[in-house]
């Protein structure tokens, strides 16, 4: 009887030791879309999301693009992100210059640790280029802007830069 108990105990130890193994650190890619990147004031960051909607139902080529990137240095920090919204009436007419009214652009800096948690910026100059995609083929958008902050409806401060590219699939 003792040998059966020893055999069961030995098998349990082997099973436990065989089942436990050290694995590599788990990379948390839950919010990485692998769909582009942006450069915010010299800092390169991967996008967490990029998408678009068709703005007007009667215009197949109207778009509102949206991209967001995480600026946090540590996952436990409060939300800190850059959000870019670009609206274009007809993407086949590009390139587009927001300062000429050819595209509507709004950039938001969200920092929940700051008193003014959402700051808005608009371009004073820049360009948006779109490579329209067909179903099953990604639509590619690139942009580069010089921005000023919007305070009480006025553009204020020194210009800051943002540029980026995104690839959006149907």
Residue range 118-158, pLDDT digits in tens: 999 999 999 999 998 876 788 899 999 999 999 999 999 99
Of 120, 124, 125, which Cα lies nearest the Cα of 152?
Answer: 120
Looking at per-residue pLDDT, the higher value among 77 and 33 belongs to 33
Identify which has the larger pLDDT, 133 or 160: 160
> In angstroms, what CA-CA distances link 89 with 59, 124, 131?
8, 20, 15
pLDDT level of residue 18 (50, 70, 90 thresholds): low
pLDDT score at 113: 76
- Domain for residue 75, yes or no? yes
> Which pLDDT does position 170 carry in this prediction?
65
Q: What is the pLDDT of residue 78?
A: 66
**The predicted structure's pLDDT at residue 137:** 80
Domain assignment present for 7: no
How many helices, marked H, and strands, marked E, lie in the chain? 1, 8
Q: What is the 3-state secondary structure (H, E, C) of 97-110?
A: CHHHCCCEEEEEEE
Distance from C-alpha of 144 to C-alpha of 158, rounded to nearest angstrom: 16
- Give the pLDDT confidence score for residue 71 in this predicted structure: 83
Q: What is the pLDDT of residues 56-85, one digit of tens each?
A: 778 888 999 999 998 876 666 666 889 999
* pLDDT at residue 26 in the model: 42
The pLDDT assigned to 30 comes to 47
Q: Note whether residue 115 is domain-resident.
A: yes
- Phi, psi (rounded to 5 degrees) for 15: -65, -40
Q: Is residue 9 part of a domain?
A: no
Contact present, 77 and 63 (Cβ < 8 Å): no
User: Per the domain annotation, does 129 fall within a domain?
Assistant: yes
- The pLDDT confidence band at residue 117, using thresholds 50, 70 and 90, is confident
Domain of residue 62 covers: 31-168
Let me know if residue 163 belongs to a domain.
Answer: yes
Whether 4 maps to a domain, the answer reads no
User: How far is CA 126 from its chain centroid?
Assistant: 20
Residue 116 lies in a domain: yes
Q: List C-alpha distances in Å: 79 to 76, 89, 102, 111, 115.
A: 9, 31, 32, 6, 13
* Predicted confidence (pLDDT) per residue in 84-111, tens digit: 999 999 998 889 999 999 999 999 999 8
Give the number of domains in the chain: 1
């Amino acid at each position: 009887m003792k040998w059966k108990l020893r055999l069961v105990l030995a098998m349990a130890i082997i099973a436990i030791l065989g089942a436990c193994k050290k694995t590599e650190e788990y990379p948390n890619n839950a919010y990485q879309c692998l769909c582009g990147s942006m450069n915010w004031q010299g800092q390169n960051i991967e996008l967490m999301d990029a998408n678009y909607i068709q703005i007007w139902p009667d215009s197949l080529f109207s778009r509102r693009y949206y991209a967001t990137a995480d600026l946090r240095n540590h996952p436990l920090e409060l939300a800190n992100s850059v959000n870019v919204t670009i609206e274009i009436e007809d993407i086949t007419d590009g390139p587009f210059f927001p300062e000429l009214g050819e595209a509507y652009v709004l950039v938001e800096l969200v920092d929940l640790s700051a008193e003014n948690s959402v700051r808005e910026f608009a371009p004073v100059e820049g360009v948006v280029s779109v490579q329209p995609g067909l179903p099953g083929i990604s639509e590619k958008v690139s942009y580069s802007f010089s921005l000023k902050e919007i305070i009480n409806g006025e553009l204020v401060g020194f210009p800051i830069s943002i540029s980026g590219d995104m690839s959006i699939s149907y």
